[in-house]
Structure 1
């Protein structure tokens, strides 16, 4: 039973940032579309929703960054990454002969 709960928690740790990133993308999209749709209705238009856009960007960047970082470190642990992304091993000390 503990394994099932641990897997559920692990899945939720990925689903919650994914939902946040999705909501952030929708906020950014809505801010842009609302601005352009108000330009078509009247000549003055509404001011651009910078608060909505900034909140959407923060949520989107956090969600994508979390999922990307989790995937990167998991792949690094399993040795699936390119050589330039592998962890650097310290060189053994040189012995003076």
Structure 2
């Protein structure tokens, strides 16, 4: 991970004044650092644009974040296509 803290990455990902690539890079940094709880918080944040919520969800589809992804699916807190994507990602991770 860069010299940024997880909180700095979250702040960057949430900052609507920041360009999309920088926001996406912040989410990738969280994935690289296996910051599962922080990624989960972004996925659940309804005020965050769906593209970034989806990117954070996809970042949870790793062996290190498998249990966090399972929690997101089991709690049924996501709606619509994001929930369906979470279920598919979980099935993919568990099959590996």
Q: TM-score range by the shorter chain?
A: under 0.3
Question: What TM-score results when the alignment is normalised by the length of structure 1?
Answer: 0.24
Give 1 or 2 for the bigger CA radius of gyration.
1
